[in-house]
């Protein structure tokens, strides 16, 4: 599915809709975000996480690599990763991401997932790609 987003709020609405599908079990719990710098990955992540009811600020975990957000009144935790600064595959594996993926109570969003794309090949996931089409316009492809 390809969607043309014309604003930050539209991108976040698209993310909220996907978040609801993931929470209902209609989509895999692993969401891989790909696109160029400034493409909308963090904006999408913010809409996704807020769309599940998280009210605290959602910032990119670029420097800490991973942040977690327990979903209120549920056993579910959202894990938000940013692999931009990752240089070696073992750095990702040290995060025990493969164990998180197996946890049905975890929802995992990974920005820059394409840096270690081969890790996700045989794992059910939803890939979201972003193409910049102007200042606020983005083409978002959800596979």
- The residue among 141, 79, 81, 86 whose CA lies nearest residue 115 is 86
The domain total for the chain is 1
- Residue 90 in this model has a pLDDT that exceeds 70: no
State which residues form the domain around 134.
2-142
Whole-angstrom distance, CA of residue 11 vs CA of residue 7: 6
CATH code assigned at 78: 3.40.50.300
- CA 1 remoteness from chain centre: 17
pTM (two decimals): 0.90
Whole-angstrom distance, CA of residue 3 vs CA of residue 14: 9
| In contact, 108 and 79? CB cutoff 8 Å | yes
2, β-bridge pairs: 141
pLDDT tens, position by position, 45-87: 999 999 999 998 888 887 788 899 999 899 999 999 998 887 7
pLDDT tens, position by position, 75-85: 999 999 998 88
């Amino acid at each position: 599915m390809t969607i043309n987003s014309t604003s930050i709020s539209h991108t976040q609405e698209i993310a909220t809709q996907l978040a609801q599908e993931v929470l209902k079990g209609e989509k895999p719990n692993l969401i891989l975000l790909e696109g160029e710098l400034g493409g909308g990955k963090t904006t999408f992540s913010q809409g996704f996480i807020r769309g599940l009811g998280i009210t605290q600020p959602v910032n990119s975990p670029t420097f800490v690599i991973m942040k977690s957000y327990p979903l209120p009144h549920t056993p579910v935790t959202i894990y938000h990763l940013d692999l931009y600064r990752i240089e070696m595959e073992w750095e990702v594996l040290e995060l025990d991401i493969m164990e998180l993926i197996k946890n049905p109570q975890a929802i995992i969003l990974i920005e820059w997932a394409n840096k270690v794309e081969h890790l996700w090949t045989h794992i059910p996931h939803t890939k979201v790609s972003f193409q910049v089409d102007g200042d606020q316009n983005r083409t978002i492809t959800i596979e």
